[in-house]
Structure 1
Amino acid sequence: MENIHSWILCISLLLLIYSSTSEEDSIKRSLIAFLEKLSPSNPRIAQDLRWNFSTNPCVDRWRGIGCNNRNTSVRRIVLEDLELGGSIDASLLCKAKSLVVLSLQNDNLQGNLPPEISNCSQLTHIFLDRNRLSGNLPSSLSSFNNLKKFDVSDNDFSGEVPKGLGKISGLVSFQVQDNKLNGTIPEFDFSNLQEFNVSNNFFSGPIPKGGDRFGLSSYSGNFGFCGGPFDAICSSIPAPSPLSEENSKSEGDKAILFSGYILLGLFLLVFIMYILVKRKRTQKKKSGNAKESSTSTEQKASRSEYSISSNEGSAVATTGSMSLIVLKNPAVKELKFEELLKAPAELLGRGRFGTLYKVMMSDGNLLAVKRIKDWTISAQEFQRRMERLDRAKHPRVLSAIAFYCSKQEKLVVYEYKPNGSLFKLLHGNQENCTFDWNSRLSVAAGIAKGMSFMHRDLQEVGIGHGNLKSSNILMDTNMEPCISEYGLLAIPRQTSLNNGRKSIKPINDTALKDDIFSFGVILLELLTGKIVQNNGFDLAQWVHSVVREEWTVEVFDKGLLSEGVPEDRMVKLLQIALKCIYKSVDARPTMSQVAEMIHSLKEEEDRSVVSEIDSRDT
C-alpha cells in the first residue's frame, strides 16, 4: 500500500514539473515570436538581444526583460529607442501573465493597439509614446484596474478616449498628447493624478471638474475646449425638443421657440460684453502681476526612469522646469509663457521633429512657435544651446525670440515670416510670382552665405542645422532667404547620411557634413523644380542617373529652359550640387568652399547680365 502511495506521489511530482516546464517553454516561445513581430525586418533581433529558447529569460538575463526577486516570472519588458518598425501582437505578449510594465518607447511601431492587450491583466505601466500607432484606443483598456501610468503620446491615435479609463482609481499619470483624438475628456479623479496631458489633439467641450489644476499647457493645441483655464464659456442652453408625431407646432410651441431665440440672443450679447470687458482688464494689468503657468506636467519624469518596488508600487521621479526665457530681440519687448499659451494659434504643420504654430499675440504681433518632440536633452543643455545659437547671428538665419523647456516639452519662438517658404515658392500655386534663374541663384547664394557663417561660428561645438530643407527656408519681405530652425536637431542618435544608408558617428564628425548634403539637395530642387522625397536620396539618384547617361539638359526645370538660360550656367551650379551630395562624407566640400563657389558663379552671372544690358544700350 505504501508503495502505491509513493508511486502516486512521484507521478504527481513529475506531472507538476512537466506542466511547469511546458508553461515556461510556451512563454519563451511566445515572447520570441512577439519580438519578431515587433521587428519583422531584422531576423537577428532575438539573437542580438540574447532571447534564446535554450536559455531562461530571468536567470540568463534576456536584454529588456525584468523578473521578480525569485527570478521565476517575467514582470517587465522594456525595449526602447530600437527603431523596431513592427507591430504589437498582444496575444503573444500576454502569455506572460505576470507582466506589470510594458515600455516600447520610440520604436517606430505601426498598426493599432489590439484589444487583446487587456489579457495582460496585471499591467500597471504602459509606455507606448513616440511611435506611429494608429486607430482607436481600445475600450478594453478600461479593464486595467491596477493601471498607474499610461502614455501613448506622439502617435496617430484617433477617436474618443474610452470613458472607463477615467474611472481607474489608481491612475496617477495619463499622457495622450500629440495624437488625433477627439470628442470630450472623460471624468477623471484629478485629485489622484500627478501627470495629465491631452494637448495637440482635436478634443472639445468642457474641461472636467478638477482638471483645471493642470493649467493651459496640458490642454493647448485643441482649440475646442471651454471652461476651466480657458476664457470660452461653455453653453448651457438645452437642445431643442424633437418634433411632434404630426410634424407641426402649436401656437404655444411657437411662443416657446420664439422665447428661446430671445434668450439665445441675450446670452450671446452678455457673452460678447463679458469677452470685451475681460480683454480690456487684461490690457490694463501690469506685467508683473501675470500669473506663472503652473502645471504638474512640467514636472513629468522620464518614463525610462521609473522603478517598481517589491510591493509593485511606483517610485515617481520629478524634475523641475525652466520658465520662458526671452532673448534680446527688437521684435518683442516682453513675452510671458501664459500669454503665449492663451493667444489664438493656427496649426501650420506637423513634421518629423515637431509641430509649428502661428500665434497672434494680444498686441497684434505674429509669432511662429515650434514645439519640438523626441529630443532627450536636459533643460540646462537646452538653455546653453539656445544661448550659444543666439550669439551666432547672421542676416540670412532666423534667430529665436524666446524658448521654453520642461521635461515634458520644448518650445522655440520665432518672428513670423508671412511670405512663405522656398518650398511653397517652388512647388506652390504661384501664378503671379515668377521665380527666374537669377532669383534662384540669389537664393542659393544667400542660403550658402548664412550656412557658411553658422558652420564657422559653431564648428567647435559641432552644431549643424540638422533638418535643412526648402520648407525651412523662409522668404522675408524682400524675398531674401532666411534659414529657420537652425540647431533644433531633434534626433535621438546622430547618423551620417551616406547614399541612403545610416551609420552611427559622433555628432561633431557628421552634423556639418550632413548639412552640406541637404544643401546640395536644395540646389537640385532649385535646378530641377522637382519635389524632394526620401530625404533627397531619390532626387539625388535620379540626377546622377540622368547625368551619367549624358542627358544633362533633361535635369533642368522646364521653366528655366523656356526662360532661355544658357545651359552652361546651370551646369556649373549642378556641378556644385553634385559635389555636395558625394556618397563619401569626407569627399564633400565645406560650407565655406560651397559658398565661395556659388559667390563666384553669382558674380559671373551679374557681370554677364551687365554686359548684356550694355550691349543692348549700344
Structure 2
Amino acid sequence: MSVMRLRVQLMLILKIIFLLLSMADGETTEARDALVQFIEKLAPQRGENWGWNRSSDPCKSGWKGVTCYSDLATIKKIVLDELNLTGMLDAASLCSTKALMVLSLNSNNVVGTLPDEISKCRHLTHVYLHGNKFSGSLPGSLSRLSNLKRVDVSDNGFSGGIPDMSRISGLLTFLADNNQLSGEIPKFDFSNLEEFNVSNNNLSGPVPDLGGRFNGTSFLGNPGLCGKPLPNACPPSPPARKKGSSKKDYFMYSGYALIGIIIVSLVAFKLIKKGKTNSKKNVAKKGSQVTGDKESSTSSESKAVGGNRSEFSITSAESGRGSSSLVVLSSPMVNELKFEDLLRSPAELLGRGRNGSLYKVTLNEGVTLAVKRIRDWYISRDDFKKRMQRIDQVKHPNVLPVVAFYCSSQEKLLVYEFQENGSLFRLLHESKNRQSFDWGSRLALASKISAALAYMHEGLQADGIAHGNLKSSNILLSNEMEPLISEYGLADADNQDQSFLAQLDSFQENNSPPGGIISSNNAFKTDTYSFGIILLELLTGNVVQNNGFDLARWVNSAIREEWTVEVFDKALVSEGASEESMVSLLQVALKCIDISSAARPNMREVAGIINTIREHEEKSISSDP
C-alpha cells in the first residue's frame, strides 16, 4: 500500500513539474534582455514587426528570424539573411541563449570584428557570415566550438591567420574565400570536409596534404601558396644543420662575405672609373643629347612616374631616316600631335603586361592619352605600319581605335584615348559598385563585345589579324559605360607565348579542358576561347588565372556533378537573375572553350546566340505584370 501511495505521489510531482515547464516563458528574462541588446547593436533600424522586445517571448511571439525547438522554450536558429543589417555582432549578448545551433547573417553589411565571445555559444553547429563587411582576425576561440559543422565567412574583409580547427573532427564546410587572410593554412581534417575554399586571400606556404579531396580552385588567388594541387611547386627545404656547427659556419660564411665585399668593391671601382671616362667622351661629342635605344629605354623605365620629364626617351635618329616620326591616324582629337609632344608631356606608369607597359600621358591642352609601349616584337616597320593602318580601316564602335603610332627597331608606341572608367576586370573584382553591375548589364556587355569581335574577325580574316590577348582587363569602359575592346591585334601570331603553349600541352595530356593548339591559322578560334573565359568571369564573378584553365576546369567539374547553379555569382543569384538565361549563356561559354579548337563556333555564331538570349530576356521582362 505504501508503495502504491509513493508511486501516486511521484506521478503527481512529475505532472506539476511538467505544468511548470509548459507555463514557463522559455528563455530566461536575462537572456531576452541580452538578445534585445544584440539586435539593437546589429539592426538599429529594424522594422516594428520584428518583435525582439523585452515584453514578448522569442519563441511564442514570433520574433523575426528566430526558430525554436519543438518545446517552444529555447531558441535553435537565428537567421537574418539579406536584411541590410548595418551594425555590429555582439557575440556576448547573443550567446546568452541556452542552446543556439545556427547563426546566419548572410548578405548584409555587418561591420566590425567577430568577437572571441562567439565561443560561448558552445552548441553552435552552423555559422554563416558570407557577404558582409567584417574585418579583423578570425578569433582563435572558433577552435573551441567542438560541435561546428559548417562555417562560411567568405566575401568579407577578415585578415590575419586562419585558426587551427584541426580538433573539430566533425567539420564539413569551411569557406573563407575573398578575404585578406594571411599566413599558412593550418591542418584540417580534410578526409571529413565536404566543402573547402580559401581562394583570393594573401595566404602563403605549402598547401597541406588534401588526400585528393580538393582541386586548385580552392586555393587560387594566393600568390604565396605552392604545392599540389597548384601548378607551382614549393622550393626545396634547406638542409638541416648539424648541432655544434653554428660557430664553424659563422666563421666560414663571414669569410665568404668578406671576399664577396672585396670583389664587389673592385668591380664597382672599375665601373665608376670607366663611366667617368665615357662621360667625358660623350660631352665632347656633338649632338650628345641623343642616346641609344637600349640606354634610353632603360633610363625611361627608371624615371619618376608622373614627373615633368617624359617616360619616353627614344632616339630620333636611329637609322637617319626620321624613324621617330609619329603616324597620326584619323582622329580630330590629336590631329596636330607630334612625337615631341609625347616626349615633353608628363607620363604616369599604369602597369606592365605580357605585351608591354601602359602609360597615362597628359598633353598641354589637357587631353589625356593612353600610350602602350611594346618591346621585343620582331616585326618590320613596314609590316607594323600596314598592320596598324589595316586595323584602323576596320572600325567598330565597341573597339577602341588607335589614334597614333610610332615604330622603331626597338620601340613601338600605340596611342589611344584614355578611358577614365577603367576596365571590366576592375568593375567585376575591384569596384565598390560591383552590386550595380547586374545581370542585364552583364548580358548587354557580352552581346556588344561578341558583336564587335565578330565584326573585327570578319574584316581582318584575310589579313590573319586576330586580337590575340583578349581578357577582361583589355575591355575598357567609356564615359557612357560602353564596353571597348582595347589592344586589338597586338599579339604576334607568328611568335606565340611559348609558356602558354607549354601549359596548354600539359592540360591536354591530362585530358583537362580546355585547349586547342594556337597558331596563326586558328588565332581567331583562340579569341573565341578567350571570349568564353570572359563569359565565365561574368557568370561566376571569379578572378581568371592561369589563362582561364582553372576556372574552366572548375565550371566543367561542377556541371558534371550537377551543381550548375552553384557556379553562378552570388550577387546575380541574390538579385533574382533569370536562371534560364544564365544557363543559356553558360552553355555558350562552354562551346567557346571546347577542348577542340575546330569544335568552337566562330564569333558571328556566338554573337547571334547571345543576341537571341538578350532579346528573350528583354521580352520576358517587358511581359511581366
Give 1:359's aligned residue: 361
Read off the aligned partner of 1:592 and give its amino acid letter: R
- Residue 387 of structure 1 pairs with residue 389 of structure 2: yes
Map 1:269-418 → 2, pairs under 5 A: 295=315, 298-299=318-319, 321-418=323-420
Distance (Å, rounded) in 2 between the aligned partners of 1:138 and 1:509:
55
Distance 1:319 1:538 in 2: 49
**Match of 1:565, SS?**
coil
Q: How much does 1:446 deviate? A: 0.8
Amino acid in the other structure paired with 1:390: D
Gap change, CA 1:551 and 1:319, over 3 Å in 2 = farther
C-alpha separation in 2, matches of 1:504 and 1:297: 44
**Could you report, residue by residue, the CA deviation over 1:357-388 in whole angstroms, capped at 9, with x for unpaired residues?**
11111100000000112211111111110010
Residue 321 of structure 1 and its aligned partner are, at CA, apart by 2.9
Cα offset, 1:570, TM superposition: 0.3
Alpha-carbon displacement from aligned partner over 1:43-91 (angstroms, at most 9, x marks no partner): xxxxxxxxxxxxxxxxxxxxxxxxxxxxxxxxxxxxxxxxxxxxxxxxx
Aligned-pair identity in percent equals 52
Contact 2:310 2:342 survives alignment (8 Å): no
Letter in 2 for 1:379: R
Identify the range of structure 1 (360-369 vs 213-222) with the bigger mean alpha-carbon deviation: 213-222
1:477 to 476, 479, 489: 479
Within a 5 Å distance, the mapping from 1:74-153 to structure 2 comes to none
CA contact (8 A) 1:358 1:367 kept: yes
Q: CA deviation at 1:600?
A: 0.7
Q: 1:585 to 1:569 in 2, by over 3 A?
A: same
- Provide the secondary structure at the position in 2 that maps to 1:522: helix
Q: Which amino acid in structure 1 is aligned with residue 271 of structure 2?
A: L
Distance 2:306 2:465 in 1: 42
Asked if the contact 2:545–2:551 (Cα under 8 Å) also holds between the matched residues in 1, the reply is yes
Q: Which amino acid aligns with 1:575?
A: Q
Change (3 A) 1:420 1:407: same
| Residue 548 to residue 584, structure 1, CA distance change in 2 (3 Å) | same
Whole-angstrom distance in 2 between the partners of 1:453 and 1:217? 36
Query: 1:191, CA displacement in angstroms?
Result: 6.8
- The 1:376–1:576 alpha-carbon spacing in structure 2 relative to 1, beyond 3 Å, is same
2: distance between equivalents of 1:469 and 1:230?
A: 32
Report whether the alignment pairs 1:577 with 2:589. Answer: yes
The answer to whether the Cα contact below 8 Å between 2:376 and 2:410 also exists between their aligned partners in 1 is no
Q: After superposition, where does 1:178-327 map in structure 2 within 5 Å?
A: 187=276, 189-190=278-279, 212-214=289-291, 219-224=299-304, 295=315, 298-299=318-319, 321-327=323-329
1:446 aligns with 2:466: no
What does 1:592-603 correspond to in 2, within 5 Å? Answer: 592-603=604-615
- Say if 2:349 and 2:358, in contact at 8 Å, map to a contact too: yes
Kindly state the Cα deviation for residue 140 of structure 1 after the two structures are TM-superposed.
6.1
Give, as a single letter, the amino acid of the residue that structure 1 aligns with 2:473: S
Question: Match of 2:96?
Answer: none
Partner of 2:420: helix, strand, or coil?
Answer: coil
1:533 aligns with 2:545: yes
TM-score (norm 2): 0.51
User: In structure 2, how many angstroms separate the alpha carbons of the residues matched to 1:366 and 1:572?
Assistant: 40
The residue identity in structure 1 corresponding to 2:388 is M
State the alpha-carbon separation in 2 of the partners of residues 321 and 395 from structure 1.
Answer: 31
Residues 587 and 328 (structure 1 numbering): CA distance in 2 closer, same or farther, change over 3 Å?
same
Which among 408, 421, 424 is matched to residue 423 of structure 2? 421
Which SS does the other structure have where 1:368 is aligned?
Answer: strand
- Count residues with an aligned counterpart: 355
How far, CA to CA, are the matches of 1:226 and 1:480 in structure 2?
Answer: 28
Q: Do the aligned partners of residues 424 and 187 (structure 1) sit closer, same or farther apart at CA in structure 2, a change above 3 Å counting?
A: farther
The 10-residue stretch of structure 1 (410-419 or 485-494) with the greater mean CA deviation from structure 2: 485-494
> Within 2, Cα distance between the matches of 1:225 and 1:448?
36
Cα pair 1:319 1:407 within 8 Å, conserved: no
Which residue is 1:44 aligned to?
none
* Shift in Å, 1:556: 0.2
Q: What TM-score do you get using the length of structure 1 for normalisation? A: 0.52
Structure 1 residue 346: Cα displacement: 1.1
CA distance in 2, matches of 1:498, 1:448: 28
Letter in 2 for 1:518: S
Structure 2 runs not aligned, ≥5 long: 1-255, 507-514
Counterpart contact for 1:519–1:580, Cα < 8 Å: yes
Corresponding residue SS for 2:290: helix
Q: In structure 2, do the counterparts of structure 1 residues 498 and 165 end up closer, same or farther at CA, with 3 Å as the change threshold?
A: closer
1:345 Cα deviation from its structure 2 partner: 1.1
Gaps (5+ residues) in structure 1? Answer: 1-115, 117-136, 145-161, 169-185, 195-208, 233-291, 300-317
